[in-house]
């Protein structure tokens, strides 16, 4: 594997961009080495500027569910681009996208388009506070909802301890309004409600965690959250930026048959372009300006290029629900092959999978929450990442990230992934 050009460009990037990257995980700090600079992608393949080719198992962190450079999506973008990339005014495709989302996602009666997942979650929290007239929120340790101030909070020494800022620049006042619970721990949520009566506006959760690695909800966990929220007159918010339209046509809420009050969306609805959305019950959504007092706006919200790309992809997924079984089968084959490799090598590492999301944890114990995930062998993961990269498989450069499979990954790709996994683990442990 050659890295000549990437190395020189990364050195140049460090002169002008903090850390040389525009999103921290791209710096490869968690796995050692330096990032590769990508030149193009097609189908299941990434091509870097050094001439290397990789099977992509990140797929732009989820949105490229149909693979890279999909012709249908590209055609929709080309047509829209001819009319101008932005108007700052309403377009018909925004309405078509909204109607499609409302028809597909169980919780959504009305939806507002924004420009990123972070913007969607920030807006949903503001809306929840405005609707309930309460200030505090509950989030879960290890769940990531973007870089909004309310979400960059670490727990104190106990479940009811006030939060403290986890990132410089986050005020203590903001931290005090964010309470931390344990994922898959309903008791920790109940305790927070007990200690903060009539103060909690919402509970926000990734219904399937993707930012501590892939961690599924225990049976009854999501149902229990809904019961606790409604018993305490708080809203339940599902952050489906990752899981929306990936795990099922209606997202994780369809898969697990639990309907939240609000839902945040992103990734797939942009077809690879920057986009986000939040939606929910009509009575809640009508609290947003201009129909209500909760203000939120954006010049590029509902951008016609992003809407055209996302609408083409989303419409295709709705019309071809069999794709979800195909994705599930492909991901199951990969995970089954990796599991057999682990058994051959007498390794007891854990694989968590939900649909076309999965993580191989370098951990001998089950991973049900962030505490479990943090017990993984990070150094071993870093070695594994680089060995897989040498064999042409591009993984997320962090143990704390899920992998996302696309329909472009075929049988030969699956075989190569499994073979590369065996050779990489063999080199590490034999």
Tokens of 3: 């890295």
Asked if 404 contacts 357 with a C-beta cutoff of 8 angstroms, the reply is: yes
Tell me the helices (H) and strands (E) count for the chain, helix number first: 14, 16
Asked if 159 contacts 172 with a C-beta cutoff of 8 angstroms, the reply is: no
Residue 239 designated active-site:
yes
- Nearest in space to 313 (alpha carbons), one of 82, 76, 86, 11: 76
Tokens of 171: 């005020």
Q: Which of 177, 239, 372, 413 is catalytic?
A: 239
From CA 95, how far away is CA 427, in angstroms rounded? 54
Residue 15 designated active-site:
no
Q: Which of 48, 144, 278, 400 is catalytic?
A: 144
Which run of H or of E encompasses 41? strand 38-42
3-state secondary structure 204-270: EECCCECCCCCECCCCCHHHHHHHHHHHCCCEEEEECCCCCCCCCCCHHHHHHCCCCCEEEEEHHHH
Residue 47 designated active-site:
no
Per the DSSP assignment, residues forming a β-bridge with 252 are none
- Could you tell me whether strands 262-266 and 276-280 are parallel, antiparallel, or unpaired per DSSP bridges? antiparallel
Q: Which of 134, 136, 267, 350 is catalytic?
A: 267
Task: Catalogue the active-site residues.
Answer: 144, 239, 267
């Amino acid at each position: 594997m050659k890295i000549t050009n990437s190395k020189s460009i990364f050195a140049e990037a460090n002169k002008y961009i903090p850390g040389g990257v525009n999103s921290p995980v791209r710096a490869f700090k968690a796995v050692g080495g330096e990032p590769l600079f990508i030149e193009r992608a097609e189908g299941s393949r990434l091509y870097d500027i050094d001439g290397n080719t990789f099977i992509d198992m990140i797929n732009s962190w989820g949105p490229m569910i149909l693979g890279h450079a999909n012709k249908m999506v590209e055609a929709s973008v080309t047509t829209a681009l001819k009319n101008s990339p932005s108007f700052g005014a309403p377009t018909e495709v925004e309405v078509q996208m909204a109607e499609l989302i409302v028809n597909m996602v169980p919780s959504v009666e009305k939806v507002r388009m924004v420009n990123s997942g972070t913007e969607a979650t920030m807006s949903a929290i503001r809306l929840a506070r405005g609707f309930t007239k309460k200030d505090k929120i509950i989030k879960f340790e290890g769940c990531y909802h973007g870089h909004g101030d309310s979400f960059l909070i670490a727990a104190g020494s106990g479940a009811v301890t006030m939060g403290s800022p986890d990132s410089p620049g986050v005020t203590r006042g903001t931290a005090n309004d964010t309470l931390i619970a344990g994922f898959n721990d309903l008791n920790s949520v109940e305790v927070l409600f007990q200690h903060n009566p009539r103060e909690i506006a919402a509970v926000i959760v990734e219904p399937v965690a993707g930012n501590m690695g892939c961690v599924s909800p225990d049976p009854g966990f999501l149902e229990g959250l809904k019961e606790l929220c409604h018993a305490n007159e708080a809203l339940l918010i599902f952050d489906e930026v990752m899981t929306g339209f990936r795990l099922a046509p209606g997202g994780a809420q369809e898969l697990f048959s639990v309907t939240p009050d609000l839902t945040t969306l992103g990734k797939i609805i942009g077809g690879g372009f920057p986009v986000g959305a939040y939606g929910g019950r009509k009575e809640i959504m009508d609290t947003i300006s201009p129909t209500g007092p909760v203000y939120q706006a954006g010049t590029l919200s509902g951008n016609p290029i992003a809407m055209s790309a996302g609408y083409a992809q989303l419409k295709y997924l709705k019309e071809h629900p069999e794709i979800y079984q195909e994705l599930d089968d492909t991901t199951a084959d990969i995970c089954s092959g990796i599991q057999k490799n682990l058994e051959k090598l007498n390794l007891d590492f854990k694989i968590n999978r939900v649909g076309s999301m999965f993580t191989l944890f370098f951990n001998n114990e089950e991973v049900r929450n962030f505490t479990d995930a943090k017990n993984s062998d990070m150094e071993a993961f870093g070695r594994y990442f680089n060995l897989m990269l040498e064999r042409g498989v591009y993984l997320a450069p962090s143990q704390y990230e899920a992998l996302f499979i696309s329909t472009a990954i075929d049988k030969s790709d699956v075989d190569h992934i499994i073979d590369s996994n065996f050779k990489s683990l063999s080199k590490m442990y034999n």
